[in-house]
Amino acid sequence: MVNQGKSQTGQKGGSNAERAMEALKRLTPKLLIDGKFVDAKDGMTFEDLDPRTGEKLVDVAEAQAEDVERAVQAARKAFDEGPWPRMTGEQRGRVLLRLADLVEEHADELALLETLDNGKTYSQCMSIDVPGTAQHIRYFAGWCDKIEGSTIPVATEGFTAYTLREPIGVAGQIIPWNFPILMAGWKIAPALAAGCTIVLKVSQYTPLSALRLGELALEAGVPPGVFNVLTGKGAECGDAITTHPGVDKVAFTGSTNIGKKIMEGAASRIKPVSLELGGNSPVVICDDCDLDAAVKGAHEALFFNMGQACECGARLFVQEGIYDEFVARSLELAKARKVGDPFDEDTAQGPLVSQKQLDKVMDYVESGRKEGAKLGCGGQRVGEAGFYMEPTVFYDVKDDMAIARDEIFGPVQIILKFKTIDEVIARANDTNYGLAAAVWTQGLDRMQALTRGIKAGTVWVNTHHILDAAVPFGGYKESGIGREHGSAALEHYTQTKSVYVPLPASKTQRSWVTM
């Protein structure tokens, strides 16, 4: 059973759960448009639920197409007439540095809201989600005054040419529920650095932390209308953003199915899209690995964030010589993983985000049983209230079972056996996804063969989940289009203008260079 309401005392008095409710009371759960919190059209709201209990936390404004219109107009005006794209890069950088500082100063409050809304542990929010958001914003603050064009020597006599890199305009950004504030940070930081303005739609399951981030952005000096936040559902609000003629570019993180819809919606106006979609990432454990590190690494690769991570280590391929021991030790770890109130410091696994997600994951558990995979542990819901489930491990899984083919997105580890490196590369690649992979080996040849052979946007060696702001991240195949992080992310938010300029007519008056 899960101990409800017994969360530990935080550093500022009151239990963490009580302090989270205080933070919620201070928040305005409305749409952030043009620097103000406003109601949705006709005062429409939806219920935001507490994943620990399944009960209502708060009514949140539900953006309609008319609200998207208002937000796009505000972002349009801020881009076409406002100061943000016209500031120097250095000035924009200072504002983003202030925002990064404010996120750190409010880390506790943001972490409390995030745990309350999503069910992920407060300790994870404090150590990863919130600091990662600040770090991402700070990294892109550094880019603001380094976005450069180039001077190009041309064949046409008497001319020179150069390029300007201009902000693309209004960015429509749609994010999921699994890392609400971190995904908001990943999306807004490069867009703001480039001088774009933003309409961000957060998931209806986790609307809270981005509203507070929007407020902090205003405090940092981001002008009103530059960063608008809409809380609403996908079909209405998300689709209205994707197809709106005033939105110049769409960025999306979420499921591959909705990614396909986003592409269709954006096609009508030839809008560039960047998509970070689902994954079914292989983890390959070779028989020459450091076994202790690999068992723990593979466990965290899957169970981190309740398995609700696009880059999680979903298909665990273990070489036959160490297979039995690896399975036994993986089961021990999974059985010991503590499920409980995410505000408790010793909890490793909180509830899943929603009843819908719990049902989906439990359906996969059922399907694994029916298809004959061996259930090593777990497989049950925990308690009657909230969306908790047991850490679950299936082994002796076959490649064609649904639990191996699909993205489960929950705390269910899938273990498969392999013999040779060539075989495992082929099997790892036998998927429509290609987001990430991890390989565990001490051998240089194997490491090279696997990292080069597996088709994925990111490959980790003897580790997992490291996603640095400076390193490109994104998917091969149906896992997405484009890369986030690093200079790659700026490509999505800038476009190149080529300028041809005549040189002085007399060759003697030209400089001695040919450019």
- Which member of 176, 368, 379, 486 binds ligand NAI (CB under 6 A)? 176
Q: Which stretch binds ligand NAI (CB under 6 A): 64-72, 144-152, 231-239, 455-463?
A: 231-239
Q: Which stretch binds Mg ion (CB under 5 A): 112-120, 214-222, 237-245, 443-451?
A: 112-120
Give the footprint of Mg ion on residues 40-69 (CB under 5 A).
Answer: 48
Residue 350: which of ligand NAI, Mg ion, none does it interact with, CB under 5 to 8 A by kind?
A: none
- Token pair recorded at residue 322: 């160490």
Distance CA 290, CA 295 (A): 9
Pick the closest to residue 258 from 233, 280, 230, 277 (CA basis). Answer: 277
Q: Based on the shown chain and the rule CB under 6 A, indicate whether residue 238 belongs to the binding site for ligand NAI.
A: yes
| Least distance (Å) between residue 117 CB and Mg ion | 4
Query: Residue 50, by phi and psi: left (phi above 0), alpha (psi -120 to 50) or beta?
Result: beta
What does the per-residue mask of binding to ligand NAI show for 188-227, with x meaning CB under 6 A? -------------x-xx-----------------------
Q: Based on the shown chain and the rule CB under 6 A, indicate whether residue 125 belongs to the binding site for ligand NAI.
A: no
Distance CA 492, CA 192 (A): 12
Q: Cβ–Cβ contacts within 10 Å for residue 384, how many?
A: 9
Distance CA 510, CA 160 (A): 11
Q: Based on the shown chain and the rule CB under 6 A, indicate whether residue 124 belongs to the binding site for ligand NAI.
A: no
- Which member of 41, 77, 94, 261 binds ligand NAI (CB under 6 A)? 261
- Which member of 253, 274, 305, 431 binds ligand NAI (CB under 6 A)? 253
Size of interface with ligand NAI, in residues (CB under 6 A): 27
Residue with Cβ nearer ligand NAI (409 or 440): 409
Which segments within 126-168 are labelled E, that is strand? Answer: 151-152, 159-167
Name the 3-class secondary structure at 109: helix
| Least distance (Å) between residue 205 CB and Mg ion | 5
Distance CA 319, CA 442 (A): 14
Residue 117: which of ligand NAI, Mg ion, none does it interact with, CB under 5 to 8 A by kind?
A: Mg ion
- Concerning whether 276 is annotated as a catalytic residue, the answer is yes
Residue with Cβ nearer Mg ion (62 or 117): 117
Q: Which stretch binds Mg ion (CB under 5 A): 111-119, 254-262, 264-272, 283-291?
A: 111-119
Q: Based on the shown chain and the rule CB under 6 A, indicate whether residue 458 belongs to the binding site for ligand NAI.
A: no
- Token pair recorded at residue 59: 């009514």
| Least distance (Å) between residue 24 CB and Mg ion | 11
Q: Based on the shown chain and the rule CB under 6 A, indicate whether residue 367 belongs to the binding site for ligand NAI.
A: no
Q: Cβ–Cβ contacts within 10 Å for residue 419, how many?
A: 10
Residue 48: which of Mg ion, ligand NAI, none does it interact with, CB under 5 to 8 A by kind?
A: Mg ion
Q: Cβ–Cβ contacts within 10 Å for residue 36, how many?
A: 13
Q: Are 72 and 244 in contact (CB under 8 A)?
A: yes
Q: Based on the shown chain and the rule CB under 6 A, indicate whether residue 138 belongs to the binding site for ligand NAI.
A: no
| Least distance (Å) between residue 408 CB and ligand NAI | 7
Selected catalytic residue, list 109, 114, 215, 276: 276
| Least distance (Å) between residue 206 CB and Mg ion | 5
Q: Are 151 and 190 in contact (CB under 8 A)?
A: no
Residue 301 one-letter amino acid: A
158 CB contacts (<8 Å, ≥6 apart)?
Answer: 502, 503, 505
What's the helix, strand, coil split of the chain in %, to 5?
45, 20, 35
Which segments within 286-411 are labelled E, that is strand? Answer: 313-319, 374-377, 392-395
- Which member of 114, 117, 248, 344 binds Mg ion (CB under 5 A)? 117
Residue with Cβ nearer ligand NAI (116 or 277): 277
Distance CA 200, CA 99 (A): 17
Q: Which stretch binds ligand NAI (CB under 6 A): 97-105, 145-153, 235-243, 463-471?
A: 235-243
The CA radius of gyration of the chain, in Å to the nearest whole number, is 24
236 CB contacts (<8 Å, ≥6 apart)?
Answer: 63, 64, 65
Positions that interact with Mg ion (CB under 5 A) = 48, 117
Positions that interact with ligand NAI (CB under 6 A) = 174-178, 201, 203-204, 233-235, 238-239, 242, 253-255, 258, 261-262, 277-278, 310, 357, 360, 407, 409
The residues that are catalytic are: 276
